[in-house]
């Protein structure tokens, strides 16, 4: 059985344009699924093409000018789809990333893919040399005082301030400190608010007897998730007395983050129709399954603005999306990859009843 038949993520992974690059058929065929690695003293067998393949070790070494391109693609696939990278390969790819910075062609391709696919590769758009991979972390909360912030900025911009008339330099430094300090304080407040919302959401999910409504960010929070007579999941004008808009978030396993979105009246759950991992797949309500039910399980990812969240499918790795950003009664939901911008039709708020 092939990956395409056995792994539902594979189809999505191989179609991701960040993972697609031009290749010479013969060389690509010889490379097969060999891991990348360093090959010492291997003979060149592809003419002017600087590609070395060791069939004995099942390894392939590309030309140095694309070391970083390959590494950053692997980093993206790891973060986006959970692609496993061994610790040995991770160290090598980190070295490749640091040896071969982002090229103009790589930046251009990244931008074109973002325009077509809706997401970018952050390892390209925010390139930097790295020491180790890890989960993406939010900026650490700063507790710097106003004077500490001022001293830091004065040190950082000393080379400019020294060239200015002293009173002007002092005024500019004060205004810059005021702006940066204010921004830091606002970020601290936003982070605290986000943590409160996150904790509140976790409590709602852990307490699976509480009814909730799922409210869209679109339409001034007047539209809620419901379903029609054909069992298609839709949005409707919010009505807390409508049983079709009342849901329970039930966790099948308390140790894992996934949950069912179960209608409180019928017991049926929201699922990706036919476990389809493609963008545009239908969202329906169906009988809860005891096994092979990953397409019925969901998790939460924070949106940039609290209290909104993305609701992500465990199987398809896509999120609940309002089709065409329509806000009229009866607009259907679909399964779609999480976008980088224009995500208001993918953002939801959990509201207790």
Q: How many C-alpha atoms does 4 have within 13 Å on its Cβ side?
A: 2
Q: Tell me yes or no: is domain 207-352 CATH 1.10.3720.10.
A: no
pLDDT at 93 over 70: yes
Calculate helix-pair angle for 67-81, 104-117, nearest 10 degrees: 30
| Other residues' Cβ atoms within 10 Å of the Cβ of residue 244 | 20
Do residues 238 and 194 touch, judged by C-beta distance below 8 A?
no
What mean pLDDT comes out for the span 30-36? 80
pLDDT at 305: 84
Return the bridge partners of 215, or none: 224, 349
CB atoms within 10 A of CB 76: 21
Using a cut of 0.85, tell me whether the model's pTM lies above it.
no
Residues facing residue 166 across a β-bridge = none
Q: What one-character-per-residue DSSP string does 133-156 give?
A: -----PPPPP---HHHHHHHHHHH
Q: How would you classify the pairing of strands 35-36 and 59-61?
A: parallel
Bridge partners of residue 319, in order along the sequence: 312, 336
Q: Are strands 35-36 and 52-54 parallel, antiparallel or unpaired?
A: unpaired
H/E element, 75: helix 67-81
Q: Give the mean pLDDT of 98-110.
A: 93
For residue range 246-285, what is the model confidence (pLDDT) as tens digits?
999 988 877 778 999 999 999 999 999 999 989 999 999 9
DSSP 59: E
> Across the chain, what does the average pLDDT equal?
86
């Amino acid at each position: 059985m092939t990956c395409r038949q056995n792994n539902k993520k594979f189809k999505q992974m191989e179609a991701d344009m960040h993972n697609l690059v031009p290749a010479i058929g013969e060389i690509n065929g010889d490379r097969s699924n060999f891991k990348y690695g360093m090959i010492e003293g291997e003979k060149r067998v592809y003419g002017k093409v600087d590609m070395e393949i060791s069939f004995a070790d099942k390894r392939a070494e590309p030309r140095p000018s694309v070391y970083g391109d390959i590494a950053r693609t692997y980093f993206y696939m790891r973060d986006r789809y959970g692609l496993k990278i061994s610790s040995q390969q991770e160290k090598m790819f980190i070295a490749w990333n640091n040896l071969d910075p982002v090229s103009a062609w790589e930046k251009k391709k990244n931008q074109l893919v973002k325009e077509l696919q809706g997401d970018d590769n952050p390892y390209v758009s925010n390139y930097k040399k790295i020491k180790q991979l890890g989960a993406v972390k939010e900026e650490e909360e700063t507790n710097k005082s106003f004077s500490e912030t001022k001293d830091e900025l004065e040190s950082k911009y000393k080379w400019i301030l020294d060239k200015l008339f002293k009173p002007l330099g002092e005024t500019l430094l004060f205004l810059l400190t005021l702006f940066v300090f204010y921004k830091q304080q606002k970020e601290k407040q936003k982070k605290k608010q986000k943590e409160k919302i996150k904790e509140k959401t976790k409590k709602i999910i852990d307490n699976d007897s509480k009814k909730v409504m799922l409210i869209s960010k679109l339409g001034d929070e007047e539209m809620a998730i419901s379903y029609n007579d054909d069992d298609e999941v839709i949005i409707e004008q919010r009505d807390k007395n409508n049983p079709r808009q009342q849901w329970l978030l039930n966790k099948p396993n308390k140790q894992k983050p996934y949950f069912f979105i179960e209608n409180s009246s019928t017991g049926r759950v929201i699922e990706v129709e036919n476990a389809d991992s493609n963008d545009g797949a239908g969202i329906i309500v169906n009988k809860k399954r005891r096994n092979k039910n990953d397409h019925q399980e969901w998790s939460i990812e924070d949106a940039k603005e609290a209290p909104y969240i993305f609701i992500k499918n465990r199987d398809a790795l896509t999120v609940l999306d309002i089709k065409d950003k329509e806000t009229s009664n009866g607009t259907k939901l679909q399964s779609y990859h999480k976008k980088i911008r224009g995500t208001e039709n993918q953002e939801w708020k959990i509201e207790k009843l």
